[in-house]
Amino acid sequence: MSGSTIIFYLLAALTLGSGLMAVTTRKIFRAAIYLLFSLIGIAGIYFWLQYEFIAAVQIVVYVGGIVVLIIFSIFLTQQSGEELPRQKTGRIIFSALAAFCGFLLVILQIYQHVFLKTDQNPVEVNVSNIGIQMLGVSNYGYALPFEVVSILLLAAMIACIVIAMRTRPEIKETTV
């Protein structure tokens, strides 16, 4: 068992263990911190697979963006010191059972299935190729979907502002 293998299993244990703690702990702030460690573990797995760009994007987007957003929303909306209300025991048991059975089913399918290798040549994946593909207007470029997604984000942002906007009551002018 080489050192690389041991590092992989440590990363896997970090990811799964802190993911499990994130869904079972009763303190909401601790759940956010466990989620952070789980995402860092996934980024470590990407580094282990030598996809450095994707690992960096994972850290920037998830660890730097989404977890910070979740922590902000916890601080703004929840009482982070208190424990969350306890779920019904029957519901916990049945959802654990459902998740475990689904897990077994999928794992059995995966281990029985033989994945065939593609006969196509691997594409050289580096950052400049990703950029050219992402902003290309040629046949296989992603410029149009990129712009459509940005319009969608703009619409979502405007909708958030409209929802959050306080409607001021009309001030009736009193006529004498």
Partner 1 sequence: MQPGLNQLLFISTALFFIGVYGFFTRRNLVTILMSVELILNSVNLNFIAFN
Contact between 29 and 80 under an 8 Å Cβ cutoff? The reply is: yes
**Window 69-128: residues binding partner 1 (CB under 8 A):** 70, 73-74, 77-78, 84-85, 87, 91-92, 95-96, 98-100, 102-103, 106-107, 110-111, 115, 125
Burial of 58 (0-12, 13-18, 19+ CB in 10 A): buried
| Closer residue to partner 1 in complex, CB, 12/141 | 12
Residue ranges in 39-68 that form contacts with partner 1 under rule CB under 8 A: 39, 42, 45-46, 49, 51, 54, 58, 62, 66
By CB under 8 A, tell whether 146 contacts partner 1. Answer: no
What token pair was written down for 36?
Answer: 């952070």
Residues binding partner 1: number (CB under 8 A): 49
Length in residues, the chain:
176
C-alpha distances out from residue 24 to 31, 85, 92, 98, 148, Å: 8, 12, 10, 16, 38
Mask for 10-29, x = binds partner 1 (CB under 8 A): --x--xx--xx-xxx---x-
Rounded CA separation 67/76 (Å) = 14
Phi, psi (degrees; rounded to nearest 5) at 85? -65, 140
The structure tokens 């009193």 sit at: 174
Nearer to partner 1, 12 or 56 (CB): 12
Residue listed under structure tokens 């459902």: 98
The residues that touch partner 1, with contacts defined as CB under 8 A, are 5, 8-9, 12, 15-16, 19-20, 22-24, 28, 31-32, 35, 38-39, 42, 45-46, 49, 51, 54, 58, 62, 66, 70, 73-74, 77-78, 84-85, 87, 91-92, 95-96, 98-100, 102-103, 106-107, 110-111, 115, 125
